[in-house]
Structure 1
Amino acid sequence: MPGTVKRDDPRVQRTRQLLLQAFIALLEERHNIHSISVQEITTLATVNRATFYAHFEDKYALLESWMREKFHRALLSQFPASSTLQTDTLRLLILAVFDFLARFRGQLKPADKQFEPLFEIALQQELYEILFLWLKRRASEIYVGEETVEATAQVISWAVFGPAAQWSRGNRTISAEEMAHRVLSVVIAGLSPVTTVT
């Protein structure tokens, strides 16, 4: 059953990495997720099917995990682990989301269009995780409850992701920088119940 493994265990991380690498190799070779079977992924990763299903519900869950990982790495390259919620980091985060989605749309193949909602949910969830972490660090200074932090991170993640998704689908007559500036002003207003961003 997926989720029964301890994800912070180094052996678990190695196994997940093997499965992801096998999946990516097959995807690059075939360019079509439909033609890839779980059996092929496990054979290439040198693990058994039971191990695969201990980590992922199916190949689509693996696909989602791969997208989150890709987005996570793109963001990590711009933000140190010690980053906190400040106007500058928020602006850079928003811009990074716009940039990533623009590049993602440029690489999206017609056969992958059906997976777009899956990709978008994965990216929004990763964005939520980052915002939640930053908000939690900040909220502890002013004793805001975790439920409020969770709700705020959820709302703000969609406030950033929604415009970025719409913009990346359109003709992009407005620059990413200008859109990021507009979104930032809305986000800062939305953060006021939890914290003051400096």
Structure 2
Amino acid sequence: MDQKAVDLRVRRTRKLLQEAFLKLMAQKSFQAITVQDITALAMVNRSTFYDHFADKYELMEYAVSEQFRERLKSKLPDKDHYSVENLRALIITMWEYFGCLQGHCQHADERQRILCQSQVVNVVKKVLTNWLSESPGTMAGDPSTRELAVAVTSWAIYGAAHYWAENKPKGTGAELAELVIPILDGMLQTDRLLNRN
């Protein structure tokens, strides 16, 4: 069998497992979900599950990060470069996904919520790292400053979405973006920061 067919089969199986897991997460607690539940709903063998994931925790991490990554990919105007438009899309996508994540993780305990949020933040970190490495006018030449900016920015975006959900439940992602962009853009445009030294 050629590599392309194997890759397609792997992606399809992972997608089936991911979809089954997310359906189950909306129905019952993470602790109550078993690998048997997941494989039965996905219509795959248990051995197939273990070919792809060590346990349901690893599947949860994969499902959350893939779902957010796909949603983000469809929203970004230009996925490879930093721009205010991309930052706006990132913030709005985080806000929208935050609501979706709350729905999928409504039965999760604190440990599972932390795992979910860390997976989303990790995707944001990767996107920001790519942007800042490639974009002129940002911190492309200074890895330590870039890493700090990426860490602060990714958690700031997540924190803003969390704050907005608790304090402005009828607010929109676009409204949130307009409030947050001036803060984050000022930090990410490091020509200004570097010129102050």
| Range into which the TM-score falls when normalised by the shorter chain | 0.7 to 0.9
Q: Which runs of 5+ in 1 are unaligned?
A: 1-8
Report deviation, 1:145: 4.0
Instruction: State whether structure 2 residue 121 is matched by structure 1 residue 124.
Output: yes
Partner of 1:192: 189
The 5-angstrom pairing of residues 39-188 of structure 1 reads 39-42=36-39, 44-49=42-47, 52-53=49-50, 55-80=52-77, 82-105=79-102, 107=103, 110-112=106-108, 114=110, 115-138=112-135, 144-172=141-169, 175-188=172-185
Counterpart of 2:58 in structure 1: which amino acid?
A: A
Q: Percent identity?
A: 28
CA, structure 1 residues 110+143, in 2 after alignment: closer, same or farther (shift >3 Å)?
A: closer
CA, structure 1 residues 166+113, in 2 after alignment: closer, same or farther (shift >3 Å)?
A: farther
CA, structure 1 residues 55+179, in 2 after alignment: closer, same or farther (shift >3 Å)?
A: same
* Stretch moving more, 33-42 or 65-74: 33-42
Counterpart of 1:191 in structure 2: which amino acid?
A: L
Specify the SS of the correspondent of 2:75.
Answer: coil
Specify the SS of the correspondent of 1:33.
Answer: coil
Aligned residue pairs total: 186
Tell me the TM-score normalised to structure 1 length: 0.73
CA, structure 1 residues 193+94, in 2 after alignment: closer, same or farther (shift >3 Å)?
A: same
Counterpart of 2:107 in structure 1: which amino acid?
A: A
Report deviation, 1:143: 5.1
Q: Is the 8 A contact 2:17 2:39 kept in 1?
A: yes
Counterpart of 2:108 in structure 1: which amino acid?
A: D
Measure, in 1, the Cα distance between the counterparts of 2:90 and 2:133: 17
Measure, in 1, the Cα distance between the counterparts of 2:68 and 2:139: 30
Counterpart of 1:63 in structure 2: which amino acid?
A: M
* Stretch moving more, 14-23 or 72-81: 14-23
Q: Is the 8 A contact 1:99 1:176 kept in 2?
A: yes
Q: Which runs of 5+ in 2 are unaligned?
A: 1-6
Counterpart of 2:94 in structure 1: which amino acid?
A: V
